[in-house]
């Protein structure tokens, strides 16, 4: 799996990268967020919990046809054109070839699901429309694998977070054009999911 990067530093979510580099990972390794350069202390953990208590991981599609591109750079440009000065609203973008591209840092509030941004992580896969421009599950095998690996790591890091699709939180949206809760039921936080999905669905 390849993770592409654009500048030179180590992000809070554990990815290290340098300008123009393409780093190939056998698996995605996410490290706990750190508010301290020397690592997390008890106070760091407490502050981080109060600042970003992640209870949702929300899956989106980029709503592009098979021949259209939507990289993290593209989405960042689109979102800035809409007046979002912080750029891309998602934390991750999963490309058709399985590359996972980084958006906002995990310690930053996203802009991907109204009413839920403060306590969620947003993941967007490239696609979501068929050739006619209608909503469709267009995930490639590479995307499905990369998305599952990413969700498994995030589930380890945020074990109480419920994994849902944008549609589950806003029924007017077709996004992400597949049943997220069904596909990742094994990664949901145990008995809580029964109660929560009854509210969402």
Tell me which architecture the domain covering 52-200 has in CATH.
Answer: 3-Layer(aba) Sandwich (3.40)
What lies within 8 Å, CB to CB, of 12 at 6+ separation is: 33, 34, 105, 106, 107
Q: How large is the average pLDDT for residues 172-194?
A: 83
Residue of 5, 15, 60, 155 marked catalytic? 60
Q: pTM for the whole thing?
A: 0.72
- How many whole angstroms separate alpha carbon 48 and alpha carbon 196? 24
Query: Where are the domains positioned within the chain?
Result: 52-200
pLDDT tens digits along 1-12: 444 433 333 333
Is 155 annotated in the active site? no
Report the pLDDT value the prediction gives residue 56, as an integer from 0 to 100: 93
Whether 172 is catalytic is yes
The residue annotated as part of the active site, out of 5, 79, 91, 166, is 166
- Reported residue count of the chain is 201
175 is catalytic: yes
39-58 pLDDT per residue, tens:
445 555 455 555 678 999 99
Which of the following is catalytic: 15, 17, 90, 158? Answer: 90
Answer yes or no: 60 catalytic.
yes
Average pLDDT (13-39) is: 36
């Amino acid at each position: 799996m390849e993770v592409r990067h654009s500048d030179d530093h180590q992000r809070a979510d554990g990815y290290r990268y340098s300008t123009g580099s393409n780093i190939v990972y056998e698996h995605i390794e996410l490290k706990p967020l750190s508010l301290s350069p020397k690592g997390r202390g008890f106070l760091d953990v407490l502050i981080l919990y109060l600042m970003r208590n992640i209870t949702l991981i929300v899956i989106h599609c980029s709503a592009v046809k098979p021949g259209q591109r939507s990289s993290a750079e593209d989405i960042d440009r689109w979102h800035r054109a809409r007046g979002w000065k912080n750029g891309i609203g998602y934390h991750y973008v999963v490309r058709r070839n399985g590359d996972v591209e980084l958006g906002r840092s995990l310690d930053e509030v996203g802009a991907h699901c109204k009413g839920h941004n403060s306590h969620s992580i947003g993941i967007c896969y490239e696609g979501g429309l068929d050739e006619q421009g209608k909503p469709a599950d267009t995930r490639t095998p590479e995307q499905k694998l990369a998305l599952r690996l990413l969700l498994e790591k995030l589930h380890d890091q945020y074990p109480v977070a419920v994994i849902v699709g944008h549609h589950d939180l806003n029924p007017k949206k077709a996004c992400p054009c597949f049943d997220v809760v069904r596909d990742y039921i094994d990664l949901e936080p145990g008995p809580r999911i029964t109660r929560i999905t009854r509210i969402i669905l």
